[in-house]
Amino acid sequence: MQRGRKLTSPDRKKMAGTYKVSVDAKTAPLAVVSNDNPICPDWLPDEAKAIWQADIARIIATGANSVDSSMVALYAVTMSNFVEAVKAGAPPNAAFRSELRKQMELLGIAGAKSRLAKIGQPDVPATYSPFSVRPN
């Protein structure tokens, strides 16, 4: 695997005006394998299954499918461990909270900002940089 920035969709680059045939011709977005719901794995503990059942409707509403099953399972296990620690009276572990926030952002259930996509407007050409000090 090559190091560096993550790939950007060719369509997004075309809208931004940064598409280069020499670089982006072999890049394509990943195809969605299936459109069905995430599948709860058998190995999930009962506490994690309760978290799964409580949150799966919100996760499906953000567009998750069966490809995301393992991510949802990982979130459910992490959340159940966090809930058990809080019920036991332990102080909230910062590492658990940080990891849960990351997982919730990946699943799109961490709040409104986690569901935003930065997609350029097709009607407005990218003629200037929003970071430039002087107008062109």
Domain boundaries, position 52: 37-115
Residue 18 lies inside a defined structural domain of this protein: no
Calculate the average pLDDT of the chain: 80
Q: Is residue 51 part of a domain?
A: yes
Sign of CA dihedral 16, 21, 22, 23: positive
More confident residue, 126 or 112: 112
- What's the pLDDT tens digit per position in 4-24? 776 677 777 888 888 888 777
Q: What are the CA-CA distances from residue 96 to residues 44, 67, 111 (Å)?
A: 19, 24, 18
101 domain-assigned? yes
Within 8 A by CB and 6+ apart from 50, the residues are 80
Please give the residue that has the higher pLDDT: either 79 or 26: 79
Distance of CA 18 to the CA centre of its chain: 24
Q: Is the pTM of this model over 0.85?
A: no
Q: What is the pLDDT of residue 125?
A: 56
Across residues 37-48, what is the average pLDDT? Answer: 94
72 token code pair:
């949802």
- 66 assigned to some structural domain: yes
Decide which of 120 and 59 is more confident.
59
Residue 25 belongs to a domain: no
Residue 76 pLDDT grade (very low, low, confident, very high; cuts 50, 70, 90): very high
- Say how many domains are in the chain: 1
52, with CB counted inside 10 A (0-12, 13-18, 19+), is buried
Whether 124 maps to a domain, the answer reads no
Assess if residue 133 is contained within a domain. Answer: no
